[in-house]
Chains A and B, each alone.
Chain A
Amino acid sequence: MKLNCKHVWEHISEFIDGSVDAKLREDIERHLEHCEICSAILDSTRNILVLTADDRTFELPVGYSERLHERLAKELEGSGQDSEKK
Protein backbone atom coordinates (compact mmCIF):
# COMPACT_ATOMS: atom_id res chain seq x y z
CA MET A 1 0.00 0.00 0.00
CA LYS A 2 1.18 3.46 -0.77
CA LEU A 3 1.10 5.67 2.27
CA ASN A 4 0.60 9.37 2.29
CA CYS A 5 2.34 11.64 4.78
CA LYS A 6 -0.63 11.96 7.07
CA HIS A 7 -0.79 8.20 7.43
CA VAL A 8 2.85 8.11 8.38
CA TRP A 9 2.39 10.84 10.97
CA GLU A 10 -0.39 8.90 12.63
CA HIS A 11 1.94 5.99 13.21
CA ILE A 12 5.17 7.80 13.94
CA SER A 13 5.03 7.25 17.66
CA GLU A 14 4.41 3.52 17.36
CA PHE A 15 7.00 3.33 14.63
CA ILE A 16 9.58 4.79 16.99
CA ASP A 17 8.56 2.32 19.70
CA GLY A 18 8.83 -0.55 17.25
CA SER A 19 5.25 -1.56 17.82
CA VAL A 20 3.91 -1.38 14.28
CA ASP A 21 3.49 -4.67 12.46
CA ALA A 22 6.02 -5.79 9.90
CA LYS A 23 3.98 -4.83 6.86
CA LEU A 24 3.27 -1.31 8.05
CA ARG A 25 6.88 -0.88 9.11
CA GLU A 26 7.98 -1.75 5.62
CA ASP A 27 5.50 0.68 4.06
CA ILE A 28 6.63 3.46 6.36
CA GLU A 29 10.28 2.76 5.67
CA ARG A 30 9.65 2.88 1.96
CA HIS A 31 7.84 6.17 2.34
CA LEU A 32 10.67 7.62 4.41
CA GLU A 33 13.20 6.80 1.73
CA HIS A 34 11.78 9.40 -0.57
CA CYS A 35 9.94 11.78 1.77
CA GLU A 36 12.15 14.40 3.35
CA ILE A 37 9.35 15.94 5.33
CA CYS A 38 8.46 12.74 7.13
CA SER A 39 12.11 11.88 7.66
CA ALA A 40 12.65 15.25 9.28
CA ILE A 41 9.63 14.78 11.51
CA LEU A 42 10.90 11.38 12.54
CA ASP A 43 14.40 12.68 13.26
CA SER A 44 13.20 15.64 15.23
CA THR A 45 10.83 13.51 17.30
CA ARG A 46 13.60 11.03 18.01
CA ASN A 47 15.90 13.83 19.06
CA ILE A 48 13.30 15.04 21.51
CA LEU A 49 13.06 11.58 23.00
CA VAL A 50 16.83 11.32 23.33
CA LEU A 51 16.78 14.61 25.16
CA THR A 52 13.87 13.50 27.32
CA ALA A 53 15.66 10.37 28.47
CA ASP A 54 18.71 12.41 29.47
CA ASP A 55 18.84 12.56 33.27
CA ARG A 56 19.92 16.17 33.15
CA THR A 57 16.70 17.27 31.50
CA PHE A 58 14.44 16.38 34.39
CA GLU A 59 16.50 16.96 37.46
CA LEU A 60 15.69 16.43 41.09
CA PRO A 61 15.83 19.31 43.56
CA VAL A 62 19.19 19.60 45.28
CA GLY A 63 19.15 17.66 48.53
CA TYR A 64 15.96 15.80 47.64
CA SER A 65 17.33 12.36 48.40
CA GLU A 66 18.89 13.40 51.71
CA ARG A 67 15.67 14.98 52.91
CA LEU A 68 13.64 12.00 51.81
CA HIS A 69 15.79 9.53 53.71
CA GLU A 70 15.91 11.75 56.74
CA ARG A 71 12.14 11.88 56.86
CA LEU A 72 11.97 8.16 56.31
CA ALA A 73 14.45 7.52 59.09
CA LYS A 74 12.22 9.45 61.47
CA GLU A 75 9.26 7.39 60.42
CA LEU A 76 11.14 4.14 60.86
CA GLU A 77 12.32 5.19 64.27
CA GLY A 78 9.01 6.43 65.48
CA SER A 79 6.74 3.70 64.28
CA GLY A 80 6.27 0.36 65.75
CA GLN A 81 6.42 -1.01 62.26
CA ASP A 82 3.49 -3.29 62.88
CA SER A 83 1.14 -0.67 64.20
CA GLU A 84 -0.62 -0.12 60.91
CA LYS A 85 -0.49 -3.61 59.59
CA LYS A 86 -3.54 -5.78 59.68
Chain B
Amino acid sequence: MQTIETNEAGLIARILAGEKDLFHELIRPCERMVYLTLFAIVKNEAEAEDGAQETVISAYRHLASFRGEAKFSTWLTSIAINEGRKRLRKAKGAGEESIEEQTEGHEGDFTPAPLTDWREIPLEALERKELREALRVAVAELPDIYRQVFILRDVEELNIEETAQALGINPGAVKVRLHRARMMLQKRLVPVLKTTAPARRGFFGRAL
Protein backbone atom coordinates (compact mmCIF):
# COMPACT_ATOMS: atom_id res chain seq x y z
CA MET B 1 0.00 0.00 0.00
CA GLN B 2 1.17 3.47 -0.82
CA THR B 3 1.57 6.07 1.83
CA ILE B 4 -0.29 9.33 1.45
CA GLU B 5 2.95 11.16 0.70
CA THR B 6 4.08 9.08 -2.25
CA ASN B 7 0.55 8.77 -3.44
CA GLU B 8 0.27 12.54 -3.41
CA ALA B 9 2.93 13.21 -6.05
CA GLY B 10 1.47 10.47 -8.20
CA LEU B 11 -2.02 11.87 -7.88
CA ILE B 12 -0.88 15.34 -8.79
CA ALA B 13 0.93 14.09 -11.88
CA ARG B 14 -2.15 12.22 -13.02
CA ILE B 15 -4.43 15.18 -12.43
CA LEU B 16 -2.17 17.41 -14.45
CA ALA B 17 -2.09 14.78 -17.15
CA GLY B 18 -5.84 15.07 -17.46
CA GLU B 19 -7.47 12.85 -14.84
CA LYS B 20 -9.16 15.88 -13.32
CA ASP B 21 -11.56 13.98 -11.11
CA LEU B 22 -8.73 12.70 -8.98
CA PHE B 23 -8.49 16.19 -7.52
CA HIS B 24 -11.38 15.20 -5.27
CA GLU B 25 -9.19 12.52 -3.74
CA LEU B 26 -6.21 14.81 -3.44
CA ILE B 27 -8.20 17.34 -1.48
CA ARG B 28 -10.12 15.00 0.78
CA PRO B 29 -7.46 14.51 3.47
CA CYS B 30 -6.97 18.29 3.65
CA GLU B 31 -10.50 19.62 3.70
CA ARG B 32 -10.81 19.81 7.45
CA MET B 33 -7.56 21.69 7.64
CA VAL B 34 -8.58 24.15 4.95
CA TYR B 35 -11.78 25.01 6.77
CA LEU B 36 -10.12 25.42 10.15
CA THR B 37 -7.41 27.62 8.69
CA LEU B 38 -10.01 29.90 7.18
CA PHE B 39 -12.03 29.89 10.35
CA ALA B 40 -8.96 30.83 12.38
CA ILE B 41 -8.71 33.97 10.31
CA VAL B 42 -12.25 35.05 9.46
CA LYS B 43 -13.96 33.68 12.60
CA ASN B 44 -17.24 33.19 10.85
CA GLU B 45 -18.64 29.86 9.71
CA ALA B 46 -20.23 30.95 6.46
CA GLU B 47 -17.24 33.07 5.44
CA ALA B 48 -14.89 30.23 6.34
CA GLU B 49 -16.84 27.77 4.24
CA ASP B 50 -16.98 30.11 1.27
CA GLY B 51 -13.30 30.78 1.64
CA ALA B 52 -12.55 27.08 1.86
CA GLN B 53 -14.33 26.50 -1.43
CA GLU B 54 -12.43 29.34 -3.08
CA THR B 55 -9.19 27.95 -1.72
CA VAL B 56 -9.80 24.53 -3.18
CA ILE B 57 -10.82 25.93 -6.56
CA SER B 58 -7.80 28.19 -6.59
CA ALA B 59 -5.52 25.28 -5.71
CA TYR B 60 -6.98 23.33 -8.59
CA ARG B 61 -6.47 26.15 -11.03
CA HIS B 62 -2.89 26.66 -9.95
CA LEU B 63 -1.93 23.08 -9.42
CA ALA B 64 0.62 23.23 -12.20
CA SER B 65 2.58 25.80 -10.21
CA PHE B 66 2.90 23.49 -7.22
CA ARG B 67 6.50 22.39 -7.33
CA GLY B 68 6.50 19.77 -4.65
CA GLU B 69 9.12 21.57 -2.55
CA ALA B 70 6.70 21.83 0.33
CA LYS B 71 4.09 19.28 1.21
CA PHE B 72 0.87 19.72 -0.71
CA SER B 73 -0.97 20.39 2.55
CA THR B 74 1.42 23.22 3.45
CA TRP B 75 1.00 24.76 0.03
CA LEU B 76 -2.74 24.51 0.37
CA THR B 77 -2.60 26.07 3.82
CA SER B 78 -0.80 29.11 2.45
CA ILE B 79 -3.48 29.53 -0.18
CA ALA B 80 -6.10 29.27 2.57
CA ILE B 81 -4.31 31.87 4.66
CA ASN B 82 -4.14 34.29 1.74
CA GLU B 83 -7.79 33.73 1.00
CA GLY B 84 -8.65 34.38 4.64
CA ARG B 85 -6.62 37.57 4.79
CA LYS B 86 -8.18 38.80 1.58
CA ARG B 87 -11.63 38.30 3.06
CA LEU B 88 -10.68 39.95 6.29
CA ARG B 89 -9.36 43.02 4.48
CA LYS B 90 -12.51 43.22 2.45
CA ALA B 91 -14.66 42.93 5.55
CA LYS B 92 -12.72 45.51 7.48
CA GLY B 93 -12.61 47.88 4.58
CA ALA B 94 -9.60 49.62 3.16
CA GLY B 95 -7.51 51.83 5.35
CA GLU B 96 -7.55 49.72 8.42
CA GLU B 97 -4.38 48.12 9.60
CA SER B 98 -3.93 44.74 8.02
CA ILE B 99 -3.45 41.76 10.23
CA GLU B 100 -0.02 41.06 8.80
CA GLU B 101 1.24 44.13 10.53
CA GLN B 102 0.43 42.89 13.98
CA THR B 103 3.38 41.55 15.86
CA GLU B 104 3.77 39.74 19.10
CA GLY B 105 5.50 42.73 20.63
CA HIS B 106 2.52 44.34 22.24
CA GLU B 107 1.92 44.39 25.93
CA GLY B 108 0.11 41.56 27.56
CA ASP B 109 0.12 39.22 30.46
CA PHE B 110 1.20 35.82 29.31
CA THR B 111 1.74 34.14 32.63
CA PRO B 112 -0.37 31.11 33.42
CA ALA B 113 -2.95 31.01 36.16
CA PRO B 114 -1.33 29.56 39.25
CA LEU B 115 -3.52 27.13 41.09
CA THR B 116 -2.93 25.39 44.31
CA ASP B 117 -5.71 22.90 44.85
CA TRP B 118 -5.41 21.20 41.52
CA ARG B 119 -5.46 17.52 41.05
CA GLU B 120 -5.15 16.16 37.58
CA ILE B 121 -8.58 15.78 36.15
CA PRO B 122 -9.52 12.39 34.80
CA LEU B 123 -9.69 12.01 31.05
CA GLU B 124 -13.40 11.24 31.31
CA ALA B 125 -13.95 14.77 32.54
CA LEU B 126 -12.58 16.06 29.25
CA GLU B 127 -15.52 14.37 27.60
CA ARG B 128 -17.81 17.07 28.85
CA LYS B 129 -19.35 19.20 26.18
CA GLU B 130 -19.18 22.45 28.13
CA LEU B 131 -15.43 22.18 28.21
CA ARG B 132 -15.18 21.91 24.48
CA GLU B 133 -17.55 24.82 24.08
CA ALA B 134 -15.55 26.92 26.53
CA LEU B 135 -12.38 26.11 24.63
CA ARG B 136 -13.91 27.07 21.29
CA VAL B 137 -14.98 30.41 22.68
CA ALA B 138 -11.61 31.06 24.31
CA VAL B 139 -9.76 30.25 21.08
CA ALA B 140 -12.08 32.48 19.06
CA GLU B 141 -11.31 35.32 21.43
CA LEU B 142 -7.54 35.05 21.23
CA PRO B 143 -5.90 37.95 19.39
CA ASP B 144 -5.56 37.06 15.70
CA ILE B 145 -1.85 36.39 15.56
CA TYR B 146 -2.01 34.01 18.49
CA ARG B 147 -5.13 32.23 17.32
CA GLN B 148 -3.68 31.54 13.90
CA VAL B 149 -0.52 29.97 15.23
CA PHE B 150 -2.45 28.00 17.81
CA ILE B 151 -4.86 26.56 15.24
CA LEU B 152 -2.14 25.57 12.82
CA ARG B 153 0.06 24.02 15.49
CA ASP B 154 -2.31 22.50 18.03
CA VAL B 155 -5.48 21.87 16.05
CA GLU B 156 -4.06 21.03 12.65
CA GLU B 157 -0.84 19.73 14.14
CA LEU B 158 1.58 21.28 11.68
CA ASN B 159 5.11 21.45 13.03
CA ILE B 160 6.93 24.68 13.87
CA GLU B 161 8.61 24.90 10.46
CA GLU B 162 5.43 24.26 8.53
CA THR B 163 3.52 26.79 10.61
CA ALA B 164 6.23 29.38 10.04
CA GLN B 165 6.24 28.70 6.33
CA ALA B 166 2.47 28.86 6.01
CA LEU B 167 2.20 32.16 7.89
CA GLY B 168 5.33 33.71 6.43
CA ILE B 169 6.90 34.36 9.82
CA ASN B 170 10.04 32.95 11.38
CA PRO B 171 10.06 29.86 13.59
CA GLY B 172 11.07 31.90 16.62
CA ALA B 173 7.91 33.97 16.30
CA VAL B 174 5.86 30.79 16.00
CA LYS B 175 7.25 29.54 19.30
CA VAL B 176 6.65 32.81 21.11
CA ARG B 177 3.10 33.14 19.81
CA LEU B 178 2.29 29.53 20.52
CA HIS B 179 3.53 29.81 24.07
CA ARG B 180 1.51 32.94 24.69
CA ALA B 181 -1.60 31.48 23.10
CA ARG B 182 -1.39 28.41 25.30
CA MET B 183 -0.82 30.46 28.44
CA MET B 184 -3.75 32.74 27.65
CA LEU B 185 -5.96 29.71 27.15
CA GLN B 186 -4.73 28.09 30.33
CA LYS B 187 -5.58 31.22 32.25
CA ARG B 188 -9.01 31.47 30.68
CA LEU B 189 -9.92 27.84 31.06
CA VAL B 190 -8.60 26.92 34.45
CA PRO B 191 -11.80 27.95 36.22
CA VAL B 192 -13.81 25.77 33.85
CA LEU B 193 -11.38 22.87 34.12
CA LYS B 194 -11.47 23.09 37.87
CA THR B 195 -15.20 22.78 38.09
CA THR B 196 -14.87 19.64 36.02
CA ALA B 197 -12.28 18.14 38.34
CA PRO B 198 -13.52 15.74 40.99
CA ALA B 199 -15.47 17.70 43.55
CA ARG B 200 -13.61 18.27 46.73
CA ARG B 201 -16.76 17.88 48.68
CA GLY B 202 -18.30 14.87 47.04
CA PHE B 203 -21.63 13.21 47.46
CA PHE B 204 -20.40 11.49 50.55
CA GLY B 205 -19.36 14.74 52.11
CA ARG B 206 -15.71 13.83 52.13
CA ALA B 207 -13.43 16.80 51.96
CA LEU B 208 -10.00 16.17 50.44
Interface positions of A (Cβ within 8 A of B):
5-6, 9-10, 12-14, 16, 19, 36-37, 39-41, 43-45, 47-54, 56-58, 60-61, 64-65, 67-69, 71-73, 75-76, 79, 81, 84-86
The answer to whether B112 touches A12 (Cβ under 8 A) is yes
B108 at the interface (CB under 8 A from A): no
Selected interface stretch from B79-87, B89-97, B99-107, B176-184: B176-184
Interface positions of B (Cβ within 8 A of A):
18, 20-21, 23-24, 27, 31-32, 35-36, 39, 45, 49, 52-53, 56-57, 60-62, 64, 111-116, 118, 120-121, 123, 126, 131-132, 135-136, 139, 150-151, 154-155, 157, 160, 175, 178-179, 182-183, 185-186, 189-190, 193
Partner of A45, one of B53, B131, B150, B186: B186
The answer to whether B116 touches A40 (Cβ under 8 A) is yes
The answer to whether A72 touches B24 (Cβ under 8 A) is yes
Q: Given the known inter-chain contacts A13-B183, A54-B126, A64-B35, please indicate yes or no for A44 contacting B115, CB distance below 8 A.
A: yes
Residue of B nearest to A77 (CB): B20
A40 CA / B18 CA spacing, docked (Å)? 56
Query: 13 pairs across A/B with beta carbons < 8 Å?
Result: A12-B182, A13-B179, A36-B116, A47-B126, A48-B186, A54-B126, A56-B132, A58-B39, A71-B56, A72-B24, A72-B57, A76-B20, A81-B20
Complex contacts, B60 vs chain A, CB 8 Å: 72, 75-76
A44 CA / B190 CA spacing, docked (Å)? 7
A5 CA / B114 CA spacing, docked (Å)? 10
Q: Given the known inter-chain contacts A44-B190, A72-B57, A76-B60, please indicate yes or no for A53 contacting B113, CB distance below 8 A.
A: no
Residue of A nearest to B35 (CB): A60
Complex contacts, B35 vs chain A, CB 8 Å: 60-61, 64
Residue of B nearest to A85 (CB): B64
Q: Given the known inter-chain contacts A57-B136, A67-B53, please indicate yes or no for A9 contacting B182, CB distance below 8 A.
A: no
The prevalent SS among residues of B at the interface is helix
A65 CA / B139 CA spacing, docked (Å)? 23
Complex contacts, A10 vs chain B, CB 8 Å: 179
Complex contacts, A86 vs chain B, CB 8 Å: 64
The answer to whether A13 touches B175 (Cβ under 8 A) is yes
The answer to whether B23 touches A72 (Cβ under 8 A) is yes
A81 CA / B20 CA spacing, docked (Å)? 7
A57 CA / B139 CA spacing, docked (Å)? 11
A50 CA / B125 CA spacing, docked (Å)? 12
Partner of B112, one of A45, A47, A49, A84: A45
The smallest C-beta distance from A3 to any residue of chain B, in angstroms, reads 15
